[in-house]
Structure formats: C-alpha cells, structure tokens
Structure 1
C-alpha cells in the first residue's frame, strides 16, 4: 500500500511538471481543419494505428468557445494534445497505394549454393563450436539473453568497428549516448509508454525517480541531444552516429523469431540525420544506398523493401527495410531499416533551422548501420563450412587481427550443470 502511494506521488509530481512545460507544436492547421478529417482517418486506417480525429476536432471546437479565463480550458488543452499525439505521421504518396506486402526495390548478392550440404542454423553452429550460451541464464540475465564467447565476441566487435569506420568516412559525427531517458523524449520520438504493447523497460520510480526508462535505440538519445535547438540551414544536413545497447521488453512466440533473433538487449550502431524539408527525401535514399554498400561486401543475399503503410511506425513518413537471407533458417529476416520521420519528432522536441530570417522545423531520419545479433545470424549461416569453420568476410578481417576463419572455442570450457546438494 505504501509503495503504491509513493509511486502515485512520484507520478503526480511528474505530471504537474509536465503540465507546466510547453506543448509540442503539432500542426493544428492540418489536423484541426475539418476538410482534412477524411484523409487523416484513411491514413490511420491504412497504417492500422491508433488515434481518433473526430475526438480531436470535438475538443478543438469546444476550446474555441470556452472563455480564456475558464479553469477547464487548460485541462481541455492538455487533452487535445494527448489526442493529437496519438495520430501517426502522414504517409508518403507513393506508399499510400501499397497493399499489405512490401515492394521489392531490388535484390543484392546471390544466395550461396550449399550443394548437397544442408546449412545449419545459428544456434546449432554456436552450440557445436561453443561460441554462445543462451540456456540456464536465470541466475545472471534471465530469458531472451545471451553470452557470445571467444571469436564470436570478437566478430561482434569487428562488426561495430567496421560500421563505425564506414560512417566516419561518410562524415557522420560519432556520439556516445546515454541509455536512460525521460518519458517526454521517448514519447516525442514516437514510442508508446506504459501501454499494453510497450517495448520499453521502466525504472523503479521510488528508487530512481519518476518516468525514467531504458532506451530502445540510440535514435532517441540522439534526438534528445538536439531538443530545443536551432540550426543554420548552411549546417544541414547534420549526420550523427552512435553505438549503444538497446533494451526491448517485447517478446515473441513466432517460430521465425526464435533464439537471438529477438532479444531483450543487444548492441546496435545507429544513424541519425537532421535536414531541411527539401533535403529529407534525398537523405533517405542516401542512407538506404549507404546501407546497401556497407552490407554487400559481407557476402550475404538481401532484399531491399519499400514498406507498406501498416508497417510504418507512428513517426515514419516512409521506411525501407533490408532483409537478409538466413540459409540455416531457410527464410529472410530483417537486419536493417531506415525511416524519414519528416517533422513528426522535431515538432515534439522543438528542433528547428533558420534560413533567410525565417525559422522552421527540421526533418529527422534514422537508419540501422548494424544490429549485431541478426547480422551474426546472417554471417554465420551464410559463411559456415562443412569442416567446422566460419569464413570471415574480407571486409571484416582487418578488424579481426587478420583472421580468416572462426574455429571452435576451446579457451572457455563447455557449460556443465551440476546439482547442488545439502
């Protein structure tokens, strides 16, 4: 009982603080124009999103007739912005006509022919070569976690260094980011907090303060870094990159997402770009092309997909996914994506640019440079050898001290469980 009262007190104090903060500058001219309501409804429906434009218009019309001094006005205004914040971004016109399936932009690299050999799955390879542990981890990190061992851990570091070196050559600025963020930053980036479908881990409000959460991706930290800033148009586009741990509370019982394909924490190299509205579509194509050029030397087959509306998260205007062929699993799996969020995040985080004595909101974009577990699945399954070795792509060998193969790990003994007796 005392604990619940303390949590309630923490949240009420936080809510009072939030109520005094400036509201996000969501585009009232568009969403509160009744002539756009059908378009907004169709967008919500096609994206299978949440939000009620009729509710928004009802509150907006009530606000117009309430006296400025009326004490209910502030509460109604708070409700209006809560409802507005639920609405998804607009959808790119060329994507609106997509059906349920994504459009294949192109396919890169051929699938490897294993001949008579049936390729093993990642979990089988790592078990035989003693490269990973996922079982019986309750005493350390629990379900949906892992230990990478020996040369697999080295390959993880090699992938990080490979991706970072590539981004630096492309003039991305590297930033080291925090993994704990406040609620307003996460929600401003489009994440759902404290709902039945949340992906976010929350910290104990009694011991750590109200509404602190573990970051799901460095995109949120990089966006938060730029909160309440104004940039000169001559300094744009701004390209940032970060390496971080990503924490996801989501779980899955889908067979194709077994093993380390979907885990509670993993390392990812992330890209984040800030542009003028005129630059953002070109920047999305640039990020997608760069992802393709970065992945092609790694030697796996992949498909580049233009995603349909229902696959777009709330902030995305347009999104490309890259799916890699995982021969041991016998199917494709997403290893990367990139999105143009236009001014969805910048309006909520107050990120602007100045040009010719006028100030407008920037556009923000994000893209995955390397999500480690899925990339490791792809590489090990693609480059496995029948003699019990894993070929290391030439592009990664300089980051593996010149090693050409991964072999069985003998430095760390196989895990053997013992039964304790009193």
Structure 2
C-alpha cells in the first residue's frame, strides 16, 4: 500500500498515477474522506475517554446529589465512548479496504499508456534467417513431438487444455535450466529456496495479487489456501511482520516453485503448445533492500536476467512496460521478450518489477535504522520461466532435420549433451 502521508500531502500525484494506470481516480477522494472520518472519530474518542477519566476522579470525591449527577453523566458518557469507538473502527476498516484497492505509485520514468505503448530499451542478438538457410522452421510443438520432449495431447486427456507433459529430453531440459539458473543466482549471492506453492490469504493479498490479478488466481475455498502464480508471493511473505536490520540488506533469494495461473481472459490465445499454460515451474529472484537503493537493484536484476538469456544464445529485446500494463504492486517493470521464429515476433520470457515500499507496507516488513524503523523496498525478477524458455531454445536452435543444438552454457547441466536428436532418426 502507499504511504498515507503521501496521499494527504500530494493527492494529485496519486490521482495522476491512477489515471495513467487506467484505474479508478475517484478511489483517491473516497480514501481521503475515509481518512478524515477516521482521524475525526479518533479525536472524538480521545476527548470522550479523557472526560471519562476526569469524571472518574470527580466521582470518587463527590457526595450526595453531586455524585448522583456525575454518575448519571458517567452512564451517558460510557455510551458515547462506545459509539465513538465503533465509529473510529468503522472508519478505519473503510480506510483500510480502500487503501488495499489503491495501486502503487508509478515511477515517473515509466511510459504512460496501454499494452502496446511500451518503450523498447534495446535489442540483443540477431534472429536467424531460416529462409537463407534453406528451410522452414518448425514450431516447438512439432519439434517437441519429434524429440519425444513435449506431450500436450495426453496432458489434455488427463488434465484438460493448457497442460503438458515434459518427457525424456524435455524433462531433462527443464532440470538443466533450473540448475543453471540456481547456479547463476547463488554465484551472484542469492540464497536458494524451495518455496510453498500454497499460501494463506494474507500473503496473497499482501503482495497485491487479490486485486486486479485475482481472476487469474486458483483458490482452494474449502481450506482457504491460494495456489501461487509465482514464488514471489511466498518469498515476500517469508519476512512478513518482521523488522530487519538495515546493515543486513540487501537480502536476496532465488526461489524455485511450481506456479499456477487460471489464464482468465485469454480464451483462444496461445492454445497450441506450452506458451500459455495453467501450471509451470519457475526460478524467481527476489530482493529486500532500502528504498534508496531500489532503483539500482532493479537494474541489477535486469542485468542478471540478460546474463541468463545471453548464455542461452536467444535473441531478445528489453522493454519498459507502459503504465496500463503494470501489476498493482509494480512502480516500474522491465520485460525481456525472446524471439520466437515461427511467430515472427518477440514474446515475454522474463520480467522484473520494482515494488518500492508497496508490498512491505502491506506485509508489515520494516528495516531497523539509526533513525527508527521504516518500510523497506521489495523487488522481483524472473530468472527462468521454464516452458517459454524451452520454446525459445527449441525454435531458435533447431536444425533442418528436427534436431536441436544445445546452447554451450547449458551443456554441463545436460551431461555434456550437445544435440537433442529426433527419436525416430
């Protein structure tokens, strides 16, 4: 959540942020009104409680008719105190409800606009010219079938659409990618984590996934658990309710977990293959740091993502995501989109978001400084979303006969294997 002091001091900035996101601007005024009611009710409660204390002292000294009058006033005052307390709680609950509905303040540097209004920062690598090589590239579904690596037909039989099996070299490819990602992250100083895939509501709400993103979250209603769409949720909740010494920052974690997404609103999109699926595995980087260092940490996370894709020799571009396409928690987000030859376009492979103090305030995570305790900043960045990375590897490194060249950096994690061969070759 945002800092209420910022809202009071500069509501126009909050309104502008909401407007740029394409979200409800009137929420700002409703929140200001609730905040005023809460503070007014709080002041009234304090006044009445103070009068009640003073009255108690007077009753102890009074006698006769004076004491009777004071006792009568005490009875009336008790009811007024209860009413003021109830009004204060009601206003506070309304304020909290509205505050949780407000998205993070945009970074002024973030592009303003919708999904297509991103800004391209750089393009790395040159897409292959398959025509010049004399053959038409196969898509990852055909390649996966030839290699005995991907089976979506049997997955549909077992689980329905948007599920898949990785078999043989496909399964080994996932394990190699995960191990390579964790190795890079730990070498960079991240603590490796295997995180829960089921979380309680406070963790999901605290990270901002029960607002605009709620439609894509799987919930187990009977047990009141949520299936995470990213290990960001579990890692952000790891220090929930804690105070961390400033000199221990940054804290960096690399979490591996299965991820689950309903993919609501994507009917008819990416129904072929494993680009958009309900369940997948991912390695996620997560940083706790000081607010002053958050912008620099954001660029570091981006550099680690670029390093990983450079090793895989996949052409990609880096984009600065526009305001209307940001999640509620992100003040700014960079996506890395890999080139998919058979689609003739770039598709998102990783992203990294600077969530500033937004998640820390919601999860009550603070840092201990010489000047007192205050919220810290959280950031996240995908190092490897496995299915889409496999898609990019297969399609960009395929050969005419359906075999696939394994990127050199990945070979040590595949037992030195250099080529993935078709099973019927």
Deviations 1:42-71, CA, capped at 9 Å, x for gaps:
211211234611211222222233332422
Which residue number in structure 2 is paired with residue 285 of structure 1?
A: 299
Which residue number in structure 2 is paired with residue 366 of structure 1?
A: 380
Which residue number in structure 2 is paired with residue 11 of structure 1?
A: none
Decide which of 39, 46, 70 is 1:64's aligned counterpart. 39
Contact 1:131–1:409 (8 Å) recurs in 2: no
Q: 1:167 to 1:57 in 2, by over 3 A?
A: same
* Structure 2 CA distance for aligned equivalents of residues 240 and 92 of structure 1: 24
Which residue number in structure 1 is paired with residue 3 of structure 2?
A: 27
TM-score by length of 2: 0.85
* Structure 2 CA distance for aligned equivalents of residues 336 and 150 of structure 1: 25
1:127-142 equivalences under 5 Å are 127-142=145-160
* Structure 1 CA distance for aligned equivalents of residues 270 and 162 of structure 2: 14
Q: 1:327 to 1:273 in 2, by over 3 A?
A: same
* Structure 2 CA distance for aligned equivalents of residues 376 and 133 of structure 1: 13
Deviations 1:51-106, CA, capped at 9 Å, x for gaps:
61121122222223333242232122111111111111111112255675211111
Shift of 1:36: 2.5
Which residue number in structure 2 is paired with residue 199 of structure 1?
A: 216
Which residue number in structure 1 is paired with residue 77 of structure 2?
A: none
Please tell me whether Structure 1 or Structure 2 has the larger radius of gyration of its CA atoms: 2
Which residue number in structure 2 is paired with residue 332 of structure 1?
A: 346
Shift of 1:137: 3.4
- List 4+ stretches of structure 1 deviating above 3 A: 96-100, 136-139, 254-258
Which residue number in structure 2 is paired with residue 3 of structure 1?
A: none
Contact 2:198–2:228 (8 Å) recurs in 1: yes
Which residue number in structure 1 is paired with residue 107 of structure 2?
A: 92
SS at match of 2:291: coil
Q: 1:117 to 1:243 in 2, by over 3 A?
A: same
- Is the aligned partner of 1:264 residue 2:282? no
* Structure 2 CA distance for aligned equivalents of residues 394 and 50 of structure 1: 49
- Is the aligned partner of 1:226 residue 2:242? no
Contact 1:49–1:314 (8 Å) recurs in 2: no
* Structure 2 CA distance for aligned equivalents of residues 105 and 410 of structure 1: 43
Which residue number in structure 1 is paired with residue 167 of structure 2?
A: 149
SS at match of 2:253: strand
Q: 1:97 to 1:216 in 2, by over 3 A?
A: closer
Decide which of 20, 40, 44 is 2:18's aligned counterpart. 44
- Is the aligned partner of 1:173 residue 2:191? yes
Contact 2:287–2:380 (8 Å) recurs in 1: yes
Decide which of 118, 123, 146 is 1:102's aligned counterpart. 118
SS at match of 2:189: coil
Shift of 1:139: 4.9
Decide which of 212, 224, 232 is 2:225's aligned counterpart. 212
Q: How many residues align?
A: 380
Contact 1:261–1:373 (8 Å) recurs in 2: yes
Which residue number in structure 1 is paired with residue 73 of structure 2?
A: none
Contact 2:21–2:113 (8 Å) recurs in 1: no
User: 122-131 vs 213-222, which deviates more?
Assistant: 122-131
* Structure 2 CA distance for aligned equivalents of residues 135 and 236 of structure 1: 47
* Structure 2 CA distance for aligned equivalents of residues 258 and 281 of structure 1: 38
Which residue number in structure 1 is paired with residue 75 of structure 2?
A: none
Shift of 1:165: 0.4
TM-score by length of 1: 0.85
Q: 1:138 to 1:395 in 2, by over 3 A?
A: closer
Which residue number in structure 2 is paired with residue 17 of structure 1?
A: none
Segments of 5+ residues of structure 2 without an aligned counterpart are 46-80
Decide which of 259, 283, 288 is 1:246's aligned counterpart. 259
Shift of 1:410: 6.3
SS at match of 1:263: coil
SS at match of 1:91: coil
SS at match of 1:260: coil
Shift of 1:135: 1.9
Deviations 1:303-362, CA, capped at 9 Å, x for gaps:
011111112111111110000000022211000000110000001111111222421111
* Structure 1 CA distance for aligned equivalents of residues 270 and 193 of structure 2: 34
SS at match of 2:398: coil
Deviations 1:107-133, CA, capped at 9 Å, x for gaps:
111111212311111112122333211
Q: 1:62 to 1:204 in 2, by over 3 A?
A: closer
Q: 1:204 to 1:60 in 2, by over 3 A?
A: closer
Q: 1:134 to 1:59 in 2, by over 3 A?
A: same
Which residue number in structure 2 is paired with residue 341 of structure 1?
A: 355
